[in-house]
Amino acid sequence: MIPRDEKAILALAQSLPREGGPKNSSVESPIEVRSPQGMLHSWFVPVTSEGSITGFYEFLPDGKFLRFSLYRGDQTYPDWLSPEKLVHCRRGEHCGKPFLSYDGSPARIVWAVPLIDGEKETLVYVAGKTAYPAPVGAKPQTE
């Protein structure tokens, strides 16, 4: 396996066609997709047009192409890809650093947000405008 960095993954995505999507689309910076335990699973590369996410590429860590998908509907780019806008902690809680992960199947990409309340740390998944508790057994990412 040849490890790839963000620049190499971006170059790969920019070299691929975006058939079926808007002609004026742009390939944005890759984002690591990590398992709930923090292991690198893949790279998510958003495709945007006029302020919305229109699709994405996904690559394995070694740069192998995994998939390309188009979105239908309104997925506002700054809202969905700005981790600081994802979760507002309650009084007494501290939000850890959000990371892109998946819910069960790696095909179900979500933001994972560690919530820290004293000694207790749990994960909350965020998909679009929906936030929900991670399944039992999902562990927060450790850096």
> Strands 26-27, 120-127: parallel, antiparallel or unpaired by DSSP?
unpaired
Tell me: the pLDDT tens digits for 53-62? 888 999 999 9
Q: Look at residue 15 and tell me whether its pLDDT is greater than 60.
A: yes
The mean-pLDDT minimum among 6-10, 82-86, 91-95, 112-116 falls in: 82-86
Alpha-carbon distance of 124 to 104, in angstroms, equals: 13
Domain boundaries, the chain: 6-17+25-80, 86-133
Q: Which two tokens stand for residue 128?
A: 């679009």
- 92-126 per-position pLDDT tens digit: 778 888 899 999 888 899 988 888 888 888 888 88
Q: What is the pTM of this model?
A: 0.83
